[in-house]
Structure 1
Amino acid sequence: MNATLADADAYVVADPAAAYGSDEASAVAQFADNGGRVLLLGDTPSAATSTSSLLGLTSGTAAAGSGQPNAIAARRGMTFDADYLFDMTDNANNFQYVYGTPSGDGSTGLADGVDRAVFDAAVPVVHGETATTAIAAANVSRSSTRTTGTHAVVARNGNVAAIGDTWFLSPDGATVADNEALVGNVAGFLVSGTKTGRIATSSPRTGVGTGRTVSVGSMTTRPESAPSATNETNATA
């Protein structure tokens, strides 16, 4: 992990194939404390089955993953829930394609230019007062309880952002609704940090390095078809 983070300015973890240990999570937390940007993406634990491309970065391995980088997220007061969100009435042509809208005061920068984003079976991101909701899904149901409410899908605490979906970054998902703006905001977040200091030594983790800008840890996600562009355009606001 130390070698992975040493030359990176940002670190992406999506549907990790194995849970991060305490030393690894501490190393990533220190990386963020030193100004490095960390993007955490998680689907439901059973959803990760194959590799995907995120921001042009593709992992070299495929494995069913734990799906949720909670060991890292917890260091910033955030948690990926185990269930997913759905909406039987106002959705992007499928009950699992839920809409998300900006929330909060806009200080996270992750919702700039986003009127409505679409997520595939989004996972709620639960957080405390130290983190801020950037985008939330309103009047949606949880798969575990069928209860309806509003849940954060995109949240940020300083140099760490957590998003309960990977599909929106895929080639199919990135062009739906305002997802392109969200993808741009995520890219801007990753490259706008200022890392200083050193990272404490910890055991290495297999990952995919991509130069000094972004390093990718474990990355797996499920393949699914996207809502059609025509139907999305005609979706009820």
Structure 2
Amino acid sequence: MSVDLRTTVGAFALVFLAVVGVAAVGGVVLDDAPPETDAVADDHWQLDAVEPETVSEGGEVEMESSEPSNTVVVHLGSGGAGLGGGTSILPIEDGDSPADADIGSVGGVRRGVAPLTAALVENGHEVRFYGGIASREPLPSMLSDADAFVTTSPGALSATDADAVETFVEAGGRTLVASDPGGAGALTDFGSPFGVYGEAGYVYDMENNDANYLSVLVEPTGPGALTEGVEQVVFRGAAPVGTADGPATLATAETSRLSTTREAGAYGVAVRSDSLTVVGDSSFLEPENAGRADNGVLIGNVADFLVTGETPDVSFGPATGPGGAVPPGGATPPPEPPEPSGNATA
């Protein structure tokens, strides 16, 4: 083999070995580096992008009125009071410290109005519960000594009790009726003498709500004593109500819809007719909802409404028992026995 050929082969071998060595070293270096990947969009992992919008927490329930002691009768349906109901479980205590309000057991019916009753008691007023036929004292008798009346179940009132409440309202007794969806018929029967009526169905809102389309946001339609300081409240189950005398006091947004028609629009959910206030929801009175938005302000205004005004001058005649029956030993005397005839013998 010539010198030139050996030189050429040797040079080729050196170049080949150099290329293989560089490739091997480069592979090791490349293996140590992390692989490059495309950026992944992670907006859907952000909590503020997936959590539903909710309203802010409001303040405590406070009353502005300085009225002297008033008596408020509260009716919560058949479960509103146990046997022997109709007596005050929220007594007014003497001294500087406010009275303690009994809000009932967890899940109890009385707990559903605890923020309202506690505010009344803390401001020196008396709260008495009426439990329908289970009460020792009939409702007309209780209303004759009362300044205000509250019911969250107007459909549970007997015909006699409903007539008594109507007389009480006509005499100027401040009355709050909280009627939930499903009670339109009973509300209309009760409120028709005062131009107040209820509508079938419930209101929902897919846009303006508190994390749930049934928890609609409600705003005042104008200034008034019931809505003073109120910008927005939350109703967990709103029934539409109205009055023939004027606009509603509280109404939903234009984006809300009525379940029976699916029509969008602003629906009235609270009205006032003189001494009668009707709200198409009772959930705003519950402890877990009293702190949402301005619910606490609304409850305080309702409490002021109940104890502000003239004392009603109302009389219901002879005392009667639940359902209109005359109780044993009641005010109606028994009939006298007939006189014996002239032909009778001793």
**Given the two structures, how large is their TM-score scaled by the length of structure 1?**
0.70
CA contact under 8 A between 1:124 and 1:153: conserved in structure 2?
yes
SS in 2 for 1:29: helix
Letter in 1 for 2:219: T
Letter in 1 for 2:251: A
Aligned residue in 2 for 1:115:
231
**Structure 2 CA distance, aligned partners of 1:174 and 1:18?**
25
CA contact under 8 A between 1:19 and 1:69: conserved in structure 2?
no
In structure 2, list runs of 5 or more residues that go unmatched. 1-138, 324-346
Alignment of 1:130-209 (within 5 A): 131-139=246-254, 140-201=256-317, 204-205=321-322
Letter in 1 for 2:259: S
Aligned residue in 1 for 2:217:
99
CA contact under 8 A between 2:242 and 2:248: conserved in structure 1?
no
Identity %: 34
SS in 2 for 1:72: helix
Distance 1:194 1:152, change over 3 A: same
Aligned residue in 1 for 2:75:
none
Distance 1:151 1:72, change over 3 A: same
Distance 1:19 1:27, change over 3 A: closer
Distance 1:183 1:67, change over 3 A: farther
Letter in 1 for 2:283: W
**Structure 2 CA distance, aligned partners of 1:112 and 1:204?**
40
SS in 1 for 2:281: coil
CA contact under 8 A between 1:11 and 1:38: conserved in structure 2?
yes
Shift of 1:17: 5.5
Deviations, residues 119-162 of structure 1 (Å, cap 9, x unaligned): 01200012212x54211112210111111111111110000000
Q: Does 1:2 pair with 2:140? A: yes
**Structure 2 CA distance, aligned partners of 1:41 and 1:159?**
14
Shift of 1:20: 4.1
Deviations, residues 22-59 of structure 1 (Å, cap 9, x unaligned): x433322221222210100111128xxxxxxxxxxxxx
Q: Does 1:70 pair with 2:70? A: no
Deviations, residues 76-109 of structure 1 (Å, cap 9, x unaligned): 11112221100011211000000111113x23x1
Distance 1:68 1:110, change over 3 A: farther
The higher radius of gyration belongs to 2
Shift of 1:73: 1.6
Q: How many pairs does the alignment contain?
A: 183
**Structure 2 CA distance, aligned partners of 1:204 and 1:148?**
47
Aligned residue in 1 for 2:14:
none
Counterpart pick for 1:87 among 197, 205, 208? 205
**Structure with the larger strand share:** 1
Deviates more, 1:189-198 or 1:163-172: 189-198
Counterpart pick for 2:178 among 22, 25, 41? 41
Letter in 1 for 2:286: S
Distance 1:154 1:203, change over 3 A: farther
Aligned residue in 2 for 1:128:
244
**Structure 2 CA distance, aligned partners of 1:10 and 1:80?**
22
Aligned residue in 1 for 2:62:
none
Distance 1:89 1:204, change over 3 A: farther
**Structure 1 CA distance, aligned partners of 2:207 and 2:157?**
35
SS in 2 for 1:133: coil
Aligned residue in 2 for 1:51:
none
CA contact under 8 A between 2:201 and 2:258: conserved in structure 1?
yes
